[in-house]
Amino acid sequence: MAAPRLRRARERLREILVNDGWRRNLDEVFAWPAKTATGALHSFLVGGDALLRFRAAETFGLVTAALAQEKMEAARVVMRGLLWRMNEESGGIGWGAPEAMACCMAAHEGLAREYHAILLSYIHEHEGICHGIFVDNPLLRHGVLWGIARLAETRPDLVAKAVPDLLTVLDPARALEGREGTPEAPVCHDAAARGLVCLALSRLGVAGVRLPKRAVDAVAGIGNESGQVLVYRDDCLEQATVAALAREALNALERAPRTDEA
């Protein structure tokens, strides 16, 4: 089958991704040159339709993982393209890039081992000082946090090192509410961020990752929060409250082993 032109590829991708049986039609996309597939998918990563955006990210990950099986260096080029989109020098904001990065790593262990530390560094702080590539756009950080939660599904051992930074998001002193527009706002976190952290911690707990008791305490501290977060999981998009995600996390954390750390 001849590779479609980019415009037709985008049209066909939309036809596939809007269908609930979208995964059954991905063989057609895998038959395209990787450059055609990833190029067409980029337009959905930055689009306004949330369901299409997440399905595009998942497809991007599967396409890149398949490419890595054949040509690892070509897959690295794709990953570097996503990293460039996260760079301020690119002139863009990076919408959709962290989600796509995470899906690539969730689908391919080799890519995960090479690039997971960069994804985690987007929320990393050390002694109150943000890492050099800390994402200071609270909305873009939602994509990073969802990506970390997605990676925790398949590579929990790699995500475990991010637990201290995830718990910082839950710190009441770092809540964004009431600080919008202030100099502190770029390093503060909203309800959606807290909900996504609960999702990540829940997955780490289910995987049996050893977690400190303060993780339980931090999640319990937001157990009554009514803020909303849009969550994509199990191929479905749902509106959940922070409280509901916190309850899920607590159930998982209570069964997870503890570290010696308080």
- The tens digit of pLDDT for each residue in 140-168 reads 999 999 999 999 999 999 999 999 999 99
Give percent helix, percent strand, percent coil of the chain, each to the nearest 5. 65, 10, 25
Domain boundaries, the chain: 1-112, 122-262
The mean of the pLDDT values for the chain is 93
Q: Is the pTM of this model over 0.75?
A: yes
Please give the pLDDT value at position 3: 64
Q: Provide the 3-class DSSP secondary structure of residue 239.
A: strand
- Which pLDDT value is given to residue 60? 98
Give the ranges where 122-241 is alpha helix by DSSP (H). 138-154, 156-159, 163-169, 191-206, 213-220
Which tokens in the block code for residue 63? 């396409």
Give residue-wise pLDDT tens across range 211-261.
Answer: 999 999 999 999 999 999 999 999 999 999 999 999 999 999 998 888 766
pLDDT for the residue numbered 262: 53
* Angle, CA of 93, 97 and 102, to the nearest 5°: 145
Q: Please tell me the predicted confidence (pLDDT) of residue 117.
A: 97
Give pLDDT, residue 183. 87
Quote the pLDDT of residue 131: 57
Q: What is the pLDDT of residue 30?
A: 96
CA-CA distance, 61 to 98, in Å (whole number)?
A: 11
pLDDT band at 130 (very low <50, low <70, confident <90, very high): low
CB-CB contact of 28 with 16 (8 Å): yes
**How many C-beta atoms surround the C-beta of residue 79 within 10 A?**
20
